[in-house]
Amino acid sequence: MATRVGSAPKMSDSKDLLVGKTAVITGAGRGIGKAIATAFAHAGACSVFVVRERATGEKLAREVKDQGFKADFAVADVTDSAQISMLVLDITQRYPVVDVLVNNAGIFLDGDRAMRPSEIDPLVLQKTLDINLFGPVRVCNAFAPNIAKGGRIINVSSTMGQFAGAADGRGPAYSISKAALNMYTQLLAADLRERSIMVDSFHPGWVKTDMGGPQARVEPQDAARTALFLASRPLSDKTGLFWRDCEVIDW
């Protein structure tokens, strides 16, 4: 059952919610990540779009700055530890403190969509975990020392990794990766509580992206609303939670 904690900001009223903050968003080249980074910039943050292709990052940052907001970009593949190390060095030379970190980069492979849980291909599972679980682990390990007291870490998860309710057997590798990401969220929240860093995960819904497909029902900008809520809600000991539509849901 969903539980409301605080109140969600309206996107139209979000102008000053993140003024003075620096936000780093992985997988920001398109879809949900792009929408989150853009929403954060509109809320006053300097959004750093983390992408795999420099040309993509340059284009997105320029578009946001041309609208009168603050934006930057950095290049890294979350599966490459060396690139993550360089990413942190690059960003912290420009922005000594990171206030919000969003782990959005993720995959849902075609082979996984057709795969049965009783016939899991270890290679598909390994590749999925490398991006969806180990990616956030690498990024958080690298950035945690530079996240400000009172900062936020937000993991983009899915109800496909939810233990509440009955599983339907779809996308076993993706589901396993998101269930593991949810547990990592809880563990990291407990670890960083003494620094007042809030760590949460959220389900963005079935979003109209390349991953979600043409039948999806949620626009990327609507999915970004919960991320903005988590980035801007008042400091609280209610952290290490799983969210959907700005409400807490069961794991």
174 catalytically annotated: yes
Considering 174, 184, 242, 243, which one is annotated as catalytic? 174
CA–CA distance, 219 with 100 (Å, rounded to integer)? 23
Which residues are known catalytic residues?
174
